[in-house]
Amino acid sequence: MIDGEKVIASAKAMVSKELRDHGWNFVNIDDAWQGNRGGKLNAMQANEKFPNFKKMIDDIHAMGLKVGVYSTPWITSYAGYMGASSNFENGIPAGNKITSGAGKNVETTDWGLAPSRQFVINAFDNSAGREKQDIGLDGLPNKSDVSDFSPTVRSASIFS
């Protein structure tokens, strides 16, 4: 299982094997680093396998490498660790459950409570602003995709 020492060992190996000199400059930490929420912003903290996350990242940066950290918007990760941006089970907010009025935060259904607001943005929503959501092939609007990538699209279409 991954821990801070293994991450540092991987970074050192990338430097000693000269991978950094050939463009390999990211150390990515996948699942299993997540701990509980804490601090003044109630942010996700690293777990006990990473006793000094900031120092580990500073040490990797000092080696001339960058660090990537996996997170998920879900309640838990695939490995069962805390999710990054949903700190309430099934979308139900912590604290008071308000079922009516201006501060309403839950709906009462035949199956129980349901969140009254969607906490994950629907990237495929076609309402106002959709033209700014398109990331297509390169982050450009659809019209730019067609003109900029038409040779690629034409050559790919022979396989469809």
Predicted confidence (pLDDT) per residue in 55-99, tens digit: 999 999 999 999 988 887 777 777 878 876 555 555 666 677 778
Please give the DSSP secondary-structure letter assigned to residue 90: G
83: amino acid identity, one letter: G
* pLDDT tens-place string over residues 103-144: 787 778 787 777 776 555 555 555 555 454 444 444 445 555
pLDDT in the model for residue 136: 45
Q: What is the extent of the structural domain holding 113? A: 88-120
pLDDT recorded at residue 129: 52
68 and 140 in a single domain? The answer is no
Burial of 110-144, coded b for 16+ CB within 10 Å and e otherwise, reads: eeebeebeeeeeeeeeeeeeeeeeeeeeeeeeeee
| 8, burial (CB in 10 Å: exposed 0-12, middle 13-18, buried 19+) | middle
- Shared-domain flag, residues 41 and 93: no
Predicted TM-score (pTM) of the model is 0.55
Asked if residue 104 and residue 39 are part of one domain, the reply reads no
Looking up tokens 């190996």 gives 13
Asked if residue 101 and residue 45 are part of one domain, the reply reads no
